[in-house]
Amino acid sequence: MKENPAEVKEQLLDQTKQVSDTLKNTIQEARKLVNKINSEVVEDAKEVTDEATSFAEEAKEDLKGIKSDLKNTGTSLTESKDLKPKSQAELNANLNHY
């Protein structure tokens, strides 16, 4: 350094500029990656979430319909249980009536 301080100074400035340029490029690449993740991965995740939510809502409605059908079936079975089976004589009398 004592022999040629201007040359040493120039070398240090060049190295500092190279390090600075490398850091700037690295930061730019990191920003590009973050933007890509935000635009692709996050959007895809949002779409999947929206589809899953829609599917869950449809399934919920389907289950309501099934529940209603089961309730109606149970009511029909209960009502038919209350009916007494007709004897053969009663069935024959009904047939002869027509």
Domain boundaries, the chain: 18-78
Q: What is the mean pLDDT of residues 75-98?
A: 69
Chain-centroid distance of CA 23 in Å reads: 38
Digit-coded pLDDT (tens) for 9-31: 999 999 999 999 999 999 999 99
Q: Are 8 and 1 in contact (CB under 8 A)?
A: yes
Digit-coded pLDDT (tens) for 57-69: 999 999 999 998 8
Query: Can you tell me the distance from the alpha carbon of 14 to that of 91, in angstroms, rounded to the nearest whole number?
Result: 111
Percentage of the chain lying above the pLDDT 90 cut: 46
Is this model's pTM higher than 0.75 or not? Answer: no
Count other Cβ atoms within 10 Å, centred on residue 21: 10
